[in-house]
Amino acid sequence: MASGSLIFGFPGKAIAFSRDNGDFKYDAPVIATASIGAELLPAIAMLCQNVSTADSGRITSTDVLVSRTSTQLLDAAALANQTFNFYREDCAMGGGNLQAMWFDAQGNGTFPSGSGSQTLNAATVTRLLNGQVLKDPSTGKLLAFSAYLYVHHDSVKYVIVQRQGNRTTGVTEGSLATWTQE
């Protein structure tokens, strides 16, 4: 059984974790998790907790932790010919989006949208991977993306982290999701 602790949230606090029969478990305040590329430790870990909101409502908030063994991708060409079929939001598979995201041989990306799909050229995808935000035509919200590769059982896999919010910089509010290959 692997175990340890990590610094989680803001302000940061140490929480313990353990691995039992391949599943990672985290102490409070984490209430749900999704481990991606998990071997000894996950390559990507989505951690969810309950957070009080200004209107006294309760929502699930998510943080995505990326291991040092993962490599951030900043060029659309690095995503050439990749398809992402698995979408997780708030540690659950599916969320509000059950479509796929994919890239052609040049790194042009096709993204799900409320009206079907939206295709962006490789130059735009590269700008998105370097911090530019994209307006979602179906919701009017702003989307930010980052992409990573990691090795799992001796094969290269990719994951895209998607943030949705209402601001053009520091898109940290709203939903946080992952697109993966599994």
Domains of the chain, residue spans: 3-66, 71-180
Size of the chain in residues? 182
pLDDT digits (tens), the chain, 182 positions: 578 888 876 777 888 988 877 778 888 888 888 888 877 778 888 888 877 666 555 567 678 888 888 999 999 999 999 999 998 888 888 755 567 899 999 999 998 776 678 899 999 999 999 999 888 777 777 888 999 999 988 899 999 998 877 655 555 566 788 999 87
Cβ neighbour number for residue 28 with a 10 Å cutoff: 9
CB-CB contact of 16 with 26 (8 Å): yes
C-alpha dist (Å) from residue 54 to 9, 10, 138, 173 = 18, 17, 26, 13
Among 9, 157, 138, CA closest to 71: 157
Q: Is this structure's pTM higher than 0.95?
A: no
